Structures are given as structure tokens and as C-alpha cells.
């Protein structure tokens, strides 16, 4: 499994950031057409996210909250159908002066068995994922700093 990690400082309290990243509303986007949980968001909560592709096809992604320490850490494990692998995504929040250092970590098998591979492909995938996470953290910063 590969560990992909990036971070940013956000001028907001850990409480404000945790409230946002652990909210079902934070999962909504133009591609997410529905989100439901089997109860209040806490350790062990199962979440189903219904996603609509650009081709109009809907898929349901199931995840479970596997890390939940209020105002400090929020993590989920998303279950994938083969050949893809399950993915663990975690937000780690640390007070940093007048703001909070937000670290986003993902653990995933980037090259599942049977997937065609070529030299450098895993590094390329990591770089693309980090760029996407950096953009997501920048958007989170913009939203929470107002």
C-alpha cells in the first residue's frame, strides 16, 4: 500500500474544520447525487455515497468511519470492487499558531494485481493524487477562511 500525504495551514479552528470534514454535506458536489449514513457520524458509521458519472451512470460507494477523534482526526475506509483496492482517507488536524495544520493522508494500492504497468507509473499516479489533494485542501481553505 502506498501512503500519499499533503498538508496546508488553514486560519480556522480545529473545531470548525473537523465539523466541516466530518459532515455528510461536505461530500456533496456536482457529481454526488445523494449521501446517507446508517446513523450519526461517529466511529463505525457506514456511509453510502451515490455518484453520477458524466455519462449519467449512477454508482454507490460504501465507506466506514474508521478514525474519529473530535477536532483531531477523521478517517474513512472506502470499499472498492476488484480490480480496484479499498482506500483509507484521513484528515489530521493540529493546532498551528492562529490556525490549524490540516494533513490529508490516503493509503491505497496504486497498482492492483493484474493491472498493466510500466516503469514510473506508480510515481506518476502519486503525483497526480497529491495535486488533486492539494487542490481539495486549497478549496477547503478558501471555503473555511471565507
Q: What is the CATH number of the domain that holds 92?
A: 3.30.530.20
Question: Are 53 and 29 a contacting pair, CB within 8 Å?
Answer: no
Instruction: Give the count of domains, the chain.
Output: 1
Per-residue pLDDT at 113 = 63
- Helix axes 14-21 and 121-145, enclosed angle (nearest 10): 120
Q: pLDDT tens for residues 92-101?
A: 999 999 999 9
Please give the pLDDT value at position 1: 78
pTM here is: 0.88
Residue range of the domain that includes 98: 2-145
Q: Which residues pair with 94 in a beta bridge?
A: 101
pLDDT of residue 68: 97
Q: What pLDDT, in 10s, does the model give residues 70-97?
A: 999 999 999 987 767 889 999 999 999 9
Amino acid at each position: 500500500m502506498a501512503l500519499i500525504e499533503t498538508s496546508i495551514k488553514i486560519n480556522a479552528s480545529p473545531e470548525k474544520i473537523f465539523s466541516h470534514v466530518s459532515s455528510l454535506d461536505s461530500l456533496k458536489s456536482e457529481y454526488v447525487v445523494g449521501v446517507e449514513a446508517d446513523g450519526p457520524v461517529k466511529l463505525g458509521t457506514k456511509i453510502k455515497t451515490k455518484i453520477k458519472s458524466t455519462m449519467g451512470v449512477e454508482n454507490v460507494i460504501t465507506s466506514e468511519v474508521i478514525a474519529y477523534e473530535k477536532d483531531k482526526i477523521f478517517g474513512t475506509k472506502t470499499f472498492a470492487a476488484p480490480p480496484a483496492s479499498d482506500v483509507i482517507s484521513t484528515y489530521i488536524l493540529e493546532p498551528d499558531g492562529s490556525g490549524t495544520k490540516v494533513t490529508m493522508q490516503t493509503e491505497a494500492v496504486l497498482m492492483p494485481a493484474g493491472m498493466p504497468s510500466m516503469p514510473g507509473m506508480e510515481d506518476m499516479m502519486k503525483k497526480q493524487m497529491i495535486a488533486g489533494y492539494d487542490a481539495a485542501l486549497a478549496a477547503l481553505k478558501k471555503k473555511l477562511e471565507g
